[in-house]
Amino acid sequence: DTGVSQDPRHKITKRGQNVTFRCDPISEHNRLYWYRQTLGQGPEFLTYFQNEAQLEKSRLLSDRFSAERPKGSFSTLEIQRTEQGDSAMYLCASSLERNQETQYFGPGTRLLVL
């Protein structure tokens, strides 16, 4: 257990439905990252926050995806109008803002869109 938790761990949904995932980072960590990992691939960067500010978003993050970190603690990632191609593992990681810091990963949320 790294101290980063994600909820839910698994989600099955029908195409077109909206889903929301939550990440609770290590409490003193001010940076929070979201990644997506498809089967047989390495994770891909989606977005990251420093405190409550969203500092960078990947081109992978279409307008159906939105992430928030309203109080600089937990974060949510919402996918609207899910598509089968959204099926993946969604990973959250947190770190301290410091040069070359280690990121601590959560267990991930596995999404299956039918």
Partner 1 sequence: KNEVEQSPQNLTAQEGEFITINCSYSVGISALHWLQQHPGGGIVSLFMLSSGKKKHGRLIATINIQEKHSSLHITASHPRDSAVYICAVRNTDKLIFGTGTRLQVFP
User: Which residues bind to partner 1, rule: CB under 8 A?
Assistant: 2, 31, 33, 35, 37, 40-45, 48, 55-56, 89, 91, 93, 99-100, 102-105, 107-108, 110
In this structure, what are the phi and psi dihedrals at residue 85, rounded to the nearest 5 degrees?
Answer: -70, -10
Measured between its terminal Cα atoms, the distance across the chain in Å is: 30
As measured in angstroms, the least distance from the Cβ of 88 to partner 1 is 11
As measured in angstroms, the least distance from the Cβ of 21 to partner 1 is 13
As measured in angstroms, the least distance from the Cβ of 42 to partner 1 is 3
Which CB, 56 or 83, lies closer to partner 1? 56
Pair 54, 65: CB distance under 8 Å: no
How do strand 53-57 and strand 44-50 relate by DSSP bridges? antiparallel
Euclidean distance between CA atoms 8 and 15, whole angstroms: 18
